[in-house]
Copies of this chain bind each other. A is one copy, B any other.
Amino acid sequence: MKKVIDLSLYLVTDSELMSTPTLEEAVEQAIIGGCTVVQLREKTASSREFYNTALSVKRVTDKYNVPLIINDRLDIAMAADADGLHLGQSDLPISAARRIFGDDKIIGISVSTFSEAKQAQAEGADYLGVGAMYKTGTKTDAADVTMDELKHIRAAVNIPIVVIGGINKTTLPAFYGTNIDGISVVSAIIAQPDITSAAAELKRMVKNLR
A residues adjacent to B (C-beta < 8 A): 46-49, 51, 72-76, 78-79, 89-93, 96-97, 99-100
A51 to B96, CA, bound (A): 10
Question: Chain B contacts of A51 at CB under 8 A?
Answer: 92-93, 96
- 28 A-B pairs with CB atoms under 8 Å apart are A46-B90, A46-B91, A47-B73, A47-B90, A47-B91, A47-B92, A48-B89, A48-B90, A48-B91, A48-B92, A48-B93, A49-B90, A51-B92, A51-B93, A73-B75, A74-B75, A74-B78, A74-B79, A75-B75, A75-B78, A75-B100, A76-B92, A78-B100, A79-B92, A79-B96, A79-B97, A79-B99, A79-B100
Give the oligomeric copy count. Answer: 2
CB distance from A14 to the nearest CB of B (A): 19
Question: Chain B contacts of A74 at CB under 8 A?
Answer: 75, 78-79
CB distance from A15 to the nearest CB of B (A): 16
Q: Specify the chain B residue showing the minimal Cβ separation from A50.
A: B92
CB distance from A43 to the nearest CB of B (A): 11
Question: Chain B contacts of A96 at CB under 8 A?
Answer: 51, 79
A51 to B99, CA, bound (A): 14
A92 to B52, CA, bound (A): 9
A47 to B74, CA, bound (A): 10
Question: Chain B contacts of A92 at CB under 8 A?
Answer: 47-48, 51, 75-76, 79
